[in-house]
A and B are shown apart, each in its own frame.
Chain A
């Protein structure tokens, strides 16, 4: 599927991306320098710097802070607007492709009776209009939007997160692999490449995402079975998978849903199987300014569960599900090279293993 848009729309989207690059590359380093200069003079304590109220009071009226936050928010709104305008021109053609089942080594199973959780129905993640399930073009909109959102630092294939996860996967004879919250699933292609003899499954709540995922996987010859399912209540039998993974899923759900998903993952894992959750880093692993800037997304960038996720003890949640748990980290091309508006970072991977019987 050709997701290029016409020149006039791409020019408008290029401008919006340029704005994001400007915020990340010019405004944020200047703000960081001002903040560090202030810290050197005022010497706030670590506790103060980790207190969001203190940081808001310190930075809230700073012109650079206000400009960077305002432009970050407005550029996000403009990004989705321009992506949708650009793709709308091709809507009939894209829909036709999505509704055409082509022969593939994978499959697609939809459940039209699946009820969307209230938290999901009421949210537009990353401010994406219609969220992932209310627009038939949600998949292409997501792919084009996220490429702009991350300033193309995911690479052309958009799969750097999957490559990061592959780099830290423990050795194990993985026969069946499950990607929870797969969305368009291209981030999972590196796992298909790394584990070519395994059977790969992807589940998601959103029908538009799954239809796009299936179409895309067929085009790219990545055999994957897609099923519309809620990760909190999966229909797979006990012990069905050797590897269950997710990437940037758990911060999109309420704490209770995280617990349900981990419990379900533990249930469908075979003895010795692995649960791997790749996420952005915890607040306490970042410097105070980066942590404060990352927290901004909770209220202002369609990430309502972000703060609660970062405040929970996920390893304990794993242990409560009778999984052995530890934390590792993986290199991020997105967060490693030039940083994002919240600074440079590495991915955190919470690894769990189901004990052998």
Chain B
């Protein structure tokens, strides 16, 4: 099924690494903008005297917090799904 729909084709085999890096760079730029906007949001919340202390509190590793652990493992699995199952 996967082969019949061309899913095993290496669509990017001749795409230049430079162009792939340009996409990664564009993505990093978007992430940076998001961080900047988040910083502004935090400032607005802080100016409204909403306590943001929990954002910077010291915490233990996710392995000791089941909710964070589940979220983390699911996130990693989603992001790396294509490289984890290249032959699916």
Binding site for B on A (CB under 8 A): 2, 4-8, 10, 13-15, 17-19, 21-22, 26-27, 30, 34, 63-64, 67, 71, 147-148, 151-152, 156
Q: CB-CB contacts of B43-87 with A at 8 A, as 1s and 0s?
A: 000000000001111111111100010001101110010011111
Q: Are B55 and A13 in contact (CB under 8 A)?
A: no
* CB-defined contacts of A15 to chain B, threshold 8 Å: 72, 75-76
Q: Are B56 and A21 in contact (CB under 8 A)?
A: no
* CB-defined contacts of B86 to chain A, threshold 8 Å: 63-64, 67
Binding site for A on B (CB under 8 A): 54-64, 68, 72-73, 75-77, 80, 83-87
From DSSP, what is the main secondary structure of chain A's interface residues? helix
Q: Are A6 and B58 in contact (CB under 8 A)?
A: yes
* C-alpha gap A13/B58 in the complex (Å): 13
Q: Are A18 and B84 in contact (CB under 8 A)?
A: no
* CB-defined contacts of B63 to chain A, threshold 8 Å: 17, 151-152
- B85's closest neighbor in chain A, by CB? A30
Which of B58, B61, B84 is within 8 Å of A22, CB to CB?
B84
Q: Are A10 and B59 in contact (CB under 8 A)?
A: yes
Which of B58, B68, B83, B84 is within 8 Å of A14, CB to CB?
B68
Q: Are B56 and A22 in contact (CB under 8 A)?
A: no
* C-alpha gap A151/B62 in the complex (Å): 11
The list of the 9 closest CB pairs from A to B, nearest first, reads A4-B58, A14-B62, A18-B76, A152-B63, A18-B72, A63-B86, A67-B83, A22-B76, A6-B56
* CB-defined contacts of A4 to chain B, threshold 8 Å: 58-60
Q: Are A22 and B73 in contact (CB under 8 A)?
A: yes
* C-alpha gap A17/B64 in the complex (Å): 13
* C-alpha gap A153/B86 in the complex (Å): 29
If the complex has contacts A18-B72, A27-B84, A64-B86, are A10 and B61 also in contact, measured as CB distance less than 8 A?
Answer: yes
* CB-defined contacts of B62 to chain A, threshold 8 Å: 10, 14, 17-18
